[in-house]
Structures are given as structure tokens and as C-alpha cells.
Structure 1
């Protein structure tokens, strides 16, 4: 979808006979037959086209910046004046780079690119033909405020899609209601109009283009200076501005105006808006004018939107009272979880927030403390009494299920801990895993209330591979985990197997992607379960060595 609102132009308007005429219906380009014009914008034209080979309609996008180039007889594109050629070429390179990046991304809310190529003096890309209305049209057609469930669902999908982009150091920089389509057939959002070509043109040309929308652009997009660089937080602001528009019917004040005289009325101070306090606060925090005060990443934005859960059992209540769990109403499974009783004092999460820790990408570095900070090595040996313990002595014996795995292990893992005593609300869980064999990692935690969870593998990380004798830091550096309390002690089991194992016999209860192992039957005593999994080599001649280790973590106030 192309639209003129994407660009604020101070240059003279190019007349309609400027040469940016769309190609006529029936024209064939690389086998695609043009059937109609979807939209004409300042930087290109989008056509509806037919792919006769696959018998499907597609969107064909042509790079044709009106102020720089024109159509000439025969259908080719030519730069208007020689002085514009370097600018035109830079834009076309970015157009191709945009297509190449989109072709690599795989997310339902990101535009897919089937093909892209250069010809006739310009460039083209072919994408799916999405049917639906953009969010601006949607808001115009729906007078009532958007329901919170729908709003959060859309935002969760979009934050995940943008996080996929950001992982490749690619930032949208032009998020607005006009650039988000709600598909007719799925009611899911699609993010459009990535603007890579426009930003490149703006960076090398005369100041006749400002590549932003004033109501949705954060302050750093107005001035490329070292103290205000663009990044994930830039897209966070724009997406939050879209949410503000959907919640209130109005865009937030311009970030430039707010820098001088901030007239923004925080959503959490507006009781008339029918949204939960945590949703309002999440939007407010994401709309902070100064980048350093703003929500820093899409994962943190998503976490803030999910802080309060609705109509779900606590992870620990469910462990104590197993019962069928209704699937969550929203679109995606990643959810932070509150707990109702005793809780795990320290847990490990890799792609989603586990209830007992808070992802804090802005948390301060760990402070060296003679009483709590040390480097220690934990190795599994037989018998377990030889295991080097770190931190305070355990108040209970090693979990029998953990001990059973340790006893079966062919070799030991090495785990180096930065801290074994963590201060609640301050310290981060960090450890480094090294295995004598290459294989696949599984991680369990047994809480003080006897809840048992398989943290890895899980729905989001179906397999985590490790190379022999190559240290693996956990959790990942970009997802630190901070101790959240209450005070207590927990046991962790780490297992590496050469072959991926089957864990079906553990009868996991799917609690938002993690494997909650049902509690032992009353009065039966703890059951020794095969946490190492069922090996595919049980009835074959393949090898499947097992390495294991355990450690404990103590949280203090």
C-alpha cells in the first residue's frame, strides 16, 4: 500500500503529467501481468498483478520517486536531471535492500517478498496481495473505543514482528495507522511500507523531504546526533503512538512540541478511558520524549502490556491443584505470570518471561560483593555427596528426580556461577554452561513448594544446541533476569544429551509454553521421573551420551 501521507514534502508539487504515470493494464513484467493500480505515492507505484504460473494475484511494487525520475516512452524510468542521479541510485539501493531483508523475515505480521529485481532503469518487488483496511480506516469505521483485548492482541503481534526486524538491525521508522492493515480473512495486522528507500533519499538529498509523520515520529528522528541515535526505541514510540490513537481517537502531541512544552496528558491519569492501568502505563512509558526514559525494546514493551494477566491459574496453584486449563483468549502464548502462593526464588527464562523473574534490559551491572559474589564450579559426580555445593547449604536433600539423572550421567557438566546468592530486586541470574559432549540442553527448576518445571526445551525453543567444550552463557545476554523474590532457595538441573530426547512421558501441562510437570499424587511421596527424556537410541546402535549437573540459588532481601 502506498500513500502520500508517508512523506511531508516542502518541494514544489510535481504536476500530474510529470511522467510518473502508472504502467498500463495488461503490461507484462517478468511474467507478471498488471491488472490494476492499487496506489501511487511519492516514491513509487503499487499494482495488482497476476502471476500466471501459480494462478494467484500479487502486489507488484515499482520504485519511481516522483520528484527525481519520470516515465519515458517504452515504460522505462529515467532520472529527471543528472544532479538527482546519486540520490535516485541511493534510494534504489535501499529499495532492493528492503526487499532483500523482507525476503529473509518470517513472521505473519511482516510483509513477505516473493521476488525482486532491477530492470528498465528502476527496481521491482513482488509481494502477497493483502486484503483489508488500514487502522486509520478501521478507526473511522468504528466509533466505539477499541476493546482492550483486541488492542493488546494486535500490539503483541506487532511487537513480535518488529522484534524479528530489530534482531537484524533493521528498523521500520515509519509506523503509523496508515501503514498497518487488518486483514479481512484473519483479523490480524500486517505491517506495511517499510520506508527504507525514503530514509536513504532523505539522508543524501537536499532538504526537500522530511521522512516522518509528526504525530508518530519520536524526537530522535528529527536530528541524527550521537546523543539521540535511532534504534528499537524509535519504533516503540511510533507503535505506542498508534495505540494512543486507537485508544483515544487522537494522536499524541508532536514530540518536538513536547520537548519545548510537554502537553501530553498521561493515559493513566484519564479514568474515562476503558483500559486497565497497566496497559495505560505501558503506552505512557513507551511515549516518553527522551529516548533514555522510554521503553527500550519491543520485548520490554510486550512485557509491560502483559504485566497483569486475566482469568488464569497461578503456575503454583496449578501445580498444587492440577486441572484443565482453558486456552488464553489472546493471540500469542508469551505471558508473564503472577503467583499466588510460595514461589520459585530464581528461575531461568530464555524467550519469554517466567513468573518469578523480571526481564530488565536496563538493569545495572552486578556489583562485586565479598559476601555474595564469587566464581564457582559445579560438577555432577557420583555419589552426589561429592558434588561441590555453592552458596548456603541446602535446606532439603537433592530432589530425587534430579539425583536419578545425576546417577545415570556418563559425564559431568561444568557450571560457572557469578553469584549464588541474589539480592531481590537487584541482582541478575547469570551462569555459564560447558559440556564435554555436543548435544541438546534441557533445564529444570524445582521450587521450594515442590513445583517442577521444564524450562528448556519449550514451545518457543523446541531445541537448544550446545557445542562440546564451548562455553554457553545463560540466560542470553540480551535477556537478563533479575531476582524478584520472595526469599528462598531453589534447585536447578541442567542436562545435555547427544540426541534430542522425547519428554512426552512427563505429561506436561502447557502453561503458556513452559512444561509444568504435574504434582505427585497425594500421599504417594515424590516420584522419580525420567527427566533426562527417552533416547531415540534405546533400540538402535546409535550413541546418545548423557551429561548433567545441578546447582542451587538463594534469594535474599
Structure 2
């Protein structure tokens, strides 16, 4: 056959000698028997492969210093072996890149070659992606991510070596629960989600997305008591994208619609993993997957969990998963950090977030926030530097921006602190658009009280007349609601901190050169606690920087140093214009609920109002200290001590 001839990759062809044919030959599936050998075809003999030999290497084969001892698994894109590391004398798992539809072994040995030259580009692209995946996994160090010990290219293919894992997949665990008549408990499920979402936060911070989360890709390791995220399958995706064989890799029910094709306005990102993970939870709770997402676009038959599982699980859990399973990406939970917050796994429980974007009609390009988790984080908040605008102008800006989509709001006023994650920094979208509704001023005294102010003189003598013309001093028209001073709120938190909590926050460098230096600082505490970092600029921007949707809840241990940035991909870069920045670090014995401060999410951080709305919220706050510090999250019963420590830092950005 010529290289241009049609072939079918479902049959393994093995030439009799060590020299391969010049062009591989393919056939429709055929069974050969010893009693009836296949007919001769020119000079090429077709030999049936041995049972269970799908192209894997035999036991005893040496690959570098690794001796293969057992076949663990074999798929269409690779083979996994149990191997013995003769150098370090330990058992490992060795994964070989071997896409059976594109490549074959030469003479049954270790050398791999493409079946046809027309497959070479796809094969090599998959191999490159396999190596990149190995490098990526080797760079991560998280107990819920697979660690790669070593990777290399040889024999025309590539390999990676990982720990030999002994565990049970979530798919099998759920199956056994069902067989035993045991329901899924919410507390247990939250424990699974806590560990897996932590791992996803780590990879998403590096703009790496799993895109194949399913019950069979989550494993429990009994010896470590940990859940593990498996099989990123980067090579598989690259090959499938090039061959357009989407049905090979997508799992209906778990794959969101944006994975099925390059639909305008539907890019893949953190929200893609959010959907798949939520589908896993849906399956765990009701025993079936959601309807395939591609079908939901035309006729959405999805049954919300708040209806089908009501009464068996908390409404917060069910609502969070329903939101994460919105079929259109722009309607869906945007990041793992947001999902953790909705589930109560990260920061203190928060109210439903108000997105700055409006629902997009079909075919509309998404705003930049859907580009990637890193780009979303980069559009966080404005810089901390120039004089604040007049309150009325800011209020007008807020009113306009509150009715505009995010794409329009992105053109909001200019200067400020910019948050960068590795690849660049973008300006905040309309920091002025906090709230369109300003609270009503404090009610004036009743008319009767005002009328009584100019008390008339008892005698008709004219002398008291000038006195009568001067009214008795009445309460001023309440200036407090019109003024909210974040710096004063910081001082209030410092003044009301718990004695002996012992929080210290020290800048690594207080004088920052714009465009060169990052905001870096170290935090220590004499007690364990949850970390909250607030940033305030001279232009009036006030933000909660930590925790954020990338970091989730952050804890500092007694006597240990918590360093910012932490290396999770979230960093603060000094940007134009020059000016002062104040940062307050609060360490709380309990997580805190900050709803009372009226913050809204913007990218990974939260922006607080600072005008009359903030003043009204502050005047109505009945907790300890400042409204910015919120209140502790306490159990339904038992004591609840509101204890925290605080420290203030000052930075100066200079040209």
C-alpha cells in the first residue's frame, strides 16, 4: 500500500522481522486463527498480537535505570507500568507516551515510530505536550497533586516517572457506597472538595487547567489520608484537538460546553474545571450526571439540586453547585476560589456576589475577565496614589458604571494600585462603581424640636430680641454619614485589638520603585489565626487583598512567618502614579464575615465602598472595632470570642 492509502488504526500490524515495512498497512478488524492462517499478502505476513498485548513493553524491559515489573494500565494515548528504580531501589510508576492510533513499536522493541508520515506532526505535538505536562507536574508540590520524579525523551517517545500510588478512585468509592446502601454525607463530601480545590487553586495560579475532572480522576490514598487529582492528559487533548476527535476525550455530563468546540465568546479557563468538579458533586449527590452540556444549550433539562436534593443537604451546598453548573460560562462561578467561598471552604461565608458583567446573548464575545485566571487577577484594583476625586463626581461615576457591562466599565477612571500575576498588569475596571445607591442621610430632628429652638422672651422688653434671634444650638446635620475615613478605620482596628495577640507586619522594602518593585512583606503572630490584608490608597481605593479567590483562606501559625507574595501566583506590582499606600494586616482567631462592609468582588479581590454608603454601613455596625473587620464566624452553640491582632504598614511608590 502507498502512504496515501486509507488505513484503519484499530488493527495492530506486526511484521515478522526486525525491519519494519516501508509503510504500515491497516485493515478492518479481523480475527485470525491457528487453523486458518491469514492469506499471504504480497511478501508481508500479518501476525495476530498476543492476548492483552496492546503495544506495551514486556516485563523486564529496562528504560534508563527503571526495570518494568508489571503493566498497570493501557489506553489509547499511553501506557503505565509498575517499575523498579534500580538506582534509588524503590518502586515507582512509569508512564510512556504511546498513542496507539498514531504510532507503533519497531520489531516489538522499545523504539517507537509513527504509522504514517501524515501522523508525524500530531504525534510530535502530543509528545511535546506530554513533556510539558511532566515539567509542569514536577514544578508543583502539593499533597493532592501527583509528583513527577523524572521525565525524559528516548526511543522516539517520552517517559515520566511518578510515585506508585495505591488507592481507590472516587468512582469506585461512590459505587461501593451505593451498593452498601450508604448515602453520601455532606461533611465527608466537603472534605473531599476541600483537598481537591486546594490543588486546583495551585495549578490555576499558574494558568494550568485540568479539563478532565471526573470521578475516575480523583483518588483516595488510605496510607496518606489524602485525595489526589489524577491524569491531566495534556498529550491526549493536543492529539484530539488536532484530529478533531473530541468524543475520544470528553466525558458527557462532566465536560462543559466550551470544551466541545471553539465557540465564539466561549473560551476555556478556570470556570471549565469549576463545571466539571460541580458535575462530580452532582453525580455524588443524586447518582447521575447532569445532562450533557452541549444538549443543554438547545434544551436545558437540568434539574437544580435545590429541588431534587432539598432537605438532604444544606441549601448553601446545593445552590453553590447549581451556580457552578450554569451551562453558559458567563453565568457560571468563575474560579475555584469563588466556588470555595460559595461552599464555605475558603473565606467566611459571603452573600451572593454581584457580577459587574451582564448576561451575554449567544454569540457575543466575553469580556476580558474570561480570558484566564491570571488575566482576571491582573484586572483587580486601581492604583494607590493620586488625590481622590470629589465625592459627587465619584458618585456620578458609580451610578453610570453600575448600569454598564463590564467591558464598558473597564474604561473607568485611571490611576492606582495594579495587581500583577507573572505576565502583566491591567487597570482595574471602574473602581468607582461601588454602589449606585447612596444611603439616605441621618434623619433630621423632628420639626417640633426645631420650632422650640428660638425660645421667645417672657417679657415684651425689646432687649432680649437679639438673643431670641439666635437659635439654641441644635445638632448639626450629622456630618458622620457623609464621611468615611479608611485610615481612621485602620486605627480603630489597631486600637481595639486583643492584648497579647502580638501581630507584626514588616515591609521587605518600604520605598518601591514603580515598574520594578513588588509589594512584599512578612507577617508573624504570637497566636494561630486567619490572615486578612487590607490596602488603602491616597486616591480612596480600599480593597481586601487577602484572602482572595486565588489564595482561599490563609492561616498563619504561632511563631511562624507568613510571607507575601506566597508564590501562588498572586502578587502586587508597584505602578504609576507615585504615592503612599497603607496596608493593615489583621490576624483573627476565627474566620470573619465581612458582609457588613458592603464589599463586592472584582477579579480575585474585593473592593469596599468608601463614600456615603460606607459611612452608613459603619454607623450601623454594632460589632467590635471597625465595620471593615466584620464579625467572627461562630458555631451555632458554645462560646465565641472575638479576638484578633493587627499591624499597620506604610509604603511609598516612587518614580
Return the TM-score normalized by structure 2.
Answer: 0.54
Indicate which of 601, 606, 609 corresponds to 1:481. 606
CA offsets, 1:394-417, max 9 Å, x none?
A: 799954956999xxx99x9899xx
Larger Rg: 2
Q: Within 1, Cα distance between the matches of 2:220 and 2:546? A: 34
How big is the shift at 1:236?
0.8
Q: How does 1:205-244 map to 2 (within 5 A)?
A: 205=243, 207=245, 210-244=248-282
- Runs of 5+ consecutive residues of structure 1 not aligned to the other structure: 1-10, 307-331, 338-354, 378-388, 416-432, 446-452, 495-508, 520-528, 533-545, 550-557
Worse overlay, 157-166 or 237-246: 157-166
Q: How does 1:434-449 map to 2 (within 5 A)?
A: 440=521
Task: Give 1:536's aligned residue.
Answer: none
How big is the shift at 1:361?
6.7
Task: Give 2:10's aligned residue.
Answer: 13
How big is the shift at 1:211?
2.7
Indicate which of 546, 562, 581 corresponds to 1:462. 562
CA offsets, 1:144-187, max 9 Å, x none?
A: 22110111111122122112212222111111111111112234
Whether the 8 Å contact between 2:130 and 2:235 is mirrored in structure 1 is: yes
Task: Give 1:62's aligned residue.
Answer: 96
Q: How does 1:417-456 map to 2 (within 5 A)?
A: 440=521
- 1:169 equivalent to 2:210? Answer no
Whether the 8 Å contact between 1:236 and 1:301 is mirrored in structure 2 is: yes
Q: Within 2, Cα distance between the matches of 1:72 and 1:136? A: 37
- Measured at CA, do residues 444 and 256 of structure 1 come closer, stay the same or move farther in structure 2, by a change above 3 Å? closer
Task: Give 1:100's aligned residue.
Answer: 135
Task: Give 2:170's aligned residue.
Answer: 135
CA offsets, 1:356-389, max 9 Å, x none?
A: x887675799999526589999xxxxxxxxxxx9
Task: Give 1:296's aligned residue.
Answer: 334
CA offsets, 1:82-104, max 9 Å, x none?
A: 11111110110110111111111
- 1:282 equivalent to 2:305? Answer no
CA offsets, 1:232-256, max 9 Å, x none?
A: 1111111111111111111111112
Task: Give 1:81's aligned residue.
Answer: 116
CA offsets, 1:96-138, max 9 Å, x none?
A: 1111111112221111111110001100001111111111111
Q: Within 2, Cα distance between the matches of 1:44 and 1:87? A: 15
Indicate which of 48, 53, 77 corresponds to 1:43. 77
- Measured at CA, do residues 100 and 218 of structure 1 come closer, stay the same or move farther in structure 2, by a change above 3 Å? same
Instruction: Give the secondary-structure state (helix, strand or coil) at the position aligned to 2:184.
Output: coil
CA offsets, 1:500-552, max 9 Å, x none?
A: xxxxxxxxx9999xxx9848xxxxxxxxx9957xxxxxxxxxxxxx8589xxx
Whether the 8 Å contact between 1:358 and 1:483 is mirrored in structure 2 is: no
Q: Within 2, Cα distance between the matches of 1:435 and 1:95? A: 35
Task: Give 2:362's aligned residue.
Answer: none
How big is the shift at 1:23?
1.3
Q: Within 2, Cα distance between the matches of 1:61 and 1:470? A: 53
Instruction: Give the secondary-structure state (helix, strand or coil) at the position aligned to 1:370.
Output: helix
Q: Within 1, Cα distance between the matches of 2:533 and 2:647? A: 8
CA offsets, 1:192-227, max 9 Å, x none?
A: 111210111122226486431112111111111331
Indicate which of 122, 126, 131 corresponds to 1:91. 126
- Measured at CA, do residues 455 and 207 of structure 1 come closer, stay the same or move farther in structure 2, by a change above 3 Å? closer
- Measured at CA, do residues 135 and 14 of structure 1 come closer, stay the same or move farther in structure 2, by a change above 3 Å? farther
Instruction: Give the secondary-structure state (helix, strand or coil) at the position aligned to 1:116.
Output: strand
- 1:336 equivalent to 2:313? Answer no
- Measured at CA, do residues 165 and 530 of structure 1 come closer, stay the same or move farther in structure 2, by a change above 3 Å? closer
Q: How does 1:108-147 map to 2 (within 5 A)?
A: 108-143=143-178, 144-147=182-185
How big is the shift at 1:437?
12
Q: Within 1, Cα distance between the matches of 2:520 and 2:200? A: 31
Task: Give 2:234's aligned residue.
Answer: 196
- 1:31 equivalent to 2:156? Answer no
Task: Give 1:8's aligned residue.
Answer: none
Whether the 8 Å contact between 1:103 and 1:112 is mirrored in structure 2 is: yes
- Measured at CA, do residues 100 and 294 of structure 1 come closer, stay the same or move farther in structure 2, by a change above 3 Å? same
- Runs of 5+ consecutive residues of structure 2 not aligned to the other structure: 1-7, 13-47, 359-380, 383-388, 398-412, 417-479, 524-531, 535-543, 548-552, 566-571, 584-598, 636-640
Instruction: Give the secondary-structure state (helix, strand or coil) at the position aligned to 1:481.
Output: strand
Worse overlay, 72-81 or 261-270: 72-81
Q: Within 2, Cα distance between the matches of 1:281 and 1:82? A: 51
Instruction: Give the secondary-structure state (helix, strand or coil) at the position aligned to 2:555.
Output: coil
Whether the 8 Å contact between 1:401 and 1:530 is mirrored in structure 2 is: yes
Q: Within 1, Cα distance between the matches of 2:160 and 2:279? A: 29
How many residues are aligned here?
417
CA offsets, 1:454-479, max 9 Å, x none?
A: 97996268123689979879899742
Return the TM-score normalized by structure 1.
Answer: 0.63
**Structure having the larger proportion of residues in strand:** 1
Whether the 8 Å contact between 1:20 and 1:70 is mirrored in structure 2 is: no
- Measured at CA, do residues 471 and 91 of structure 1 come closer, stay the same or move farther in structure 2, by a change above 3 Å? farther
Q: Within 2, Cα distance between the matches of 1:470 and 1:49? A: 59
CA RMSD of aligned residues (A): 4.8
- Measured at CA, do residues 196 and 392 of structure 1 come closer, stay the same or move farther in structure 2, by a change above 3 Å? same
Worse overlay, 52-61 or 122-131: 52-61
Q: Within 2, Cα distance between the matches of 1:179 and 1:213? A: 12
